[in-house]
Amino acid sequence: MNISENNNPFSEYWYIACESKDLKTTKPLARTILNETLVLFRDSKGKPIAMQDRCPHRNFKLSKGRVEDDCLRCPYHGWKINSQSVVIDVPAEGPHQRTVKARSTKKYECLEIDDFIYVSLASDITKVQTPFRMPKYKEPGYKTVRLFNVFKNNVLNCAENYVDVPHTVFVHDKIFRVSRQEKVEATVERVNGSVIIDYQKETDNLGWFSWFLNPKKTPIKHTDHFHAPNITSVEYIFGPKREFYISSHCTPVSDDETHVYTDLTFNFGVFNAFAAPIVRYQGQAVIDQDIEVLNTQMEVIKKYGTHFQNSKADIVHVLIESVRDEIKEGRDPKALPYKKQHFEFWI
Ligand code: FES
Ligand SMILES: [Fe+2]
């Protein structure tokens, strides 16, 4: 793995900086990824541009300036920086100035996929794997509700939470699941940098959702995925006619802040037409409960440090941590040995 200049191996991935609709040709947008402050805008052809949010002159924030002729104009002394991040106008030098290559700021690669703007901080973009595609997005028969949320916690704890089943009967009691002290069996696999959990004999224990997600109580196929370094994808398939995908992309802002882009994508057949507002309302209600838990968890961690003890059901989290630890050490998590384990727990 080729570690980029900022020496953080997590830089070697694509992260969502914003939704496509938030990036304009008229106004710069400020974002932070892995503590790196960025300014983004679109050129007149619509191409997304990202660079370090730092004017090369006296280090003012370019995001506080304006977009002008596909360039950024710094509001402090008016230096103009083009889309290649090179300074092309220094008003104080008058009409006969030369463009000096050395006067530039740092530029980053952008991608626009699935109505998201991705940025990578990698030093060698050719080595960065393509971003995870949000499942079924804009496919015929599927609808997507897109949510954005800020968590005051890190990517690891957020991702763990999204594929953590035991908390659902406590934190989301009655909304998402109902506690029945039923045994759940599952198999977890660590394969190719991902952790995949296959739940067996899942019941209709989906609380409030059951009436339209699974009215005939057909067996549910429930599979959760964690894809390194920051994606979780939860899949529910109810018989041949209903599907529900909860995909979350965690963008690390800093050690204690994560921006989470969640796609709730569903195919509920005839219910598609009216399901979106219900899915949005219920989905956000569940996430609001998780935000409260995760924000509180980080308060405790900041005071006492991270000291986790595990139950048997936490094998999922142990494997997710093993994948992220591998990246932290600068190694490729895909090279970790294959692992498969059966486990059971009660909810
Ligand atoms: S700090 Fe940007 S022009 Fe001077
Ligand atoms: Fe939750």
Domain that holds residue 255: 143-346
* CATH number, residue 19: 2.102.10.10
Say which CATH number the domain at 288 has: 3.90.380.10
Rounded distance from Cα 111 to ligand 1 centre (Å): 28
Total number of domains in the chain: 2
Confidence bin at 3 (pLDDT 50/70/90): very low
Ligand 1 atom at shortest distance from the alpha carbon of 74 = 2
Same domain for 325 and 269, yes or no, is yes
In a domain, 138, yes or no: no
The bound ligand whose nearest atom lies closest to the alpha carbon of 166 is 2
Verify that 106 and 199 share a domain, yes or no. Answer: no
CB 171 within 8 A of CB 164: no
CA of 74 to the centre of ligand 2 (A): 43
In a domain, 23, yes or no: yes
Measured in Å, residue 14 CA sits from the centre of ligand 2 at: 25
Condensed to tens digits (0 to 9), the pLDDT of residues 81-136 reads 999 999 999 999 988 777 776 899 999 999 999 999 999 999 899 999 999 999 99
- Domain membership of residue 103 (yes or no) is yes
Residues 23 and 61 in one domain: yes
In terms of domains, do 205 and 176 share one?
Answer: yes
101 shares a domain with 75: yes
Residue nearest to atom 3 of ligand 1 (CA): 77
- Write down the pLDDT at residue 4: 47
- End position of a domain, from candidates 99, 127, 155: 127
**Three-state SS across the chain?**
CCCCCCCCHHHCCEEEEEEHHHCCCCCCEEEEECCEEEEEEECCCCCEEEEECCCCCCCCCHHHCEEECCEEECCCCCCEECCCCEEEECHHHHHHCCCCCCCECCEEEEEEECCEEEEECCCCHHHCCCCCCCCCCCCCCCEEEEEEEEECCCHHHHHHHHCCCCCHHHHCECCCECCCCCEEEEEEEEECCEEEEEEECCCCCCHHHHHHHCCCCCCEEEEEEEECCCEEEEEEEECCCEEEEEEEEEEEEECCEEEEEEEEEEECHHHHHHHHHHHHHHHHHHHHHHHHHHHHHHHHHHHHCCCCCCCHHHHHHHHHHHHHHHHHCCCCHHHCCCEEEEEEEEC
Say whether both 321 and 190 belong to one domain: yes
pLDDT of residue 270: 84
> Is 238's pLDDT higher than 60?
yes
Give yes or no: residues 42 and 169 share one domain: no
Same domain, 31 and 162: no
Render pLDDT for 141-155 as a digit per residue (tens, 0 to 9): 999 999 999 999 999
Task: Return the best residue to mutate from 63, 72, 79 for the ligand 1 pocket (most ligand atoms within 8 A of CB).
Answer: 79
Domain boundary among 78, 101, 127: 127
In this structure, are 72 and 119 located in the same domain? yes
Q: Does ligand 1 come within 6 angstroms of the Cβ of 57?
A: yes
Same domain, 82 and 152: no
Q: How far is the CA of 79 from the centre of ligand 1 (A)?
A: 6
| 112 and 177 together in one domain | no
Average pLDDT over the chain, rounded to an integer: 91
Query: Tell me: the pLDDT tens digits for 73-82?
Result: 999 999 999 9
Q: 28 and 175 in one domain?
A: no
Residue 55 domain flag: yes
Say if 136 falls within a structural domain. no
Task: Please give the number of the atom of ligand 1 that sits closest to the Cα of 60.
Answer: 1
Which of 57, 92, 127 is the C-terminal boundary of a domain?
127
79 CB near ligand 1 (under 6 Å): yes
Inside any domain, residue 2? no
Is 74 close to ligand 1, i.e. is its CB under 6 Å away? Answer: yes
- Find out whether the beta carbon of 76 lies less than 6 Å from any atom of ligand 1: yes
4 in a structural domain: no
Of ligand 1's atoms, which has the minimum distance to the CA of residue 77? Answer: 3
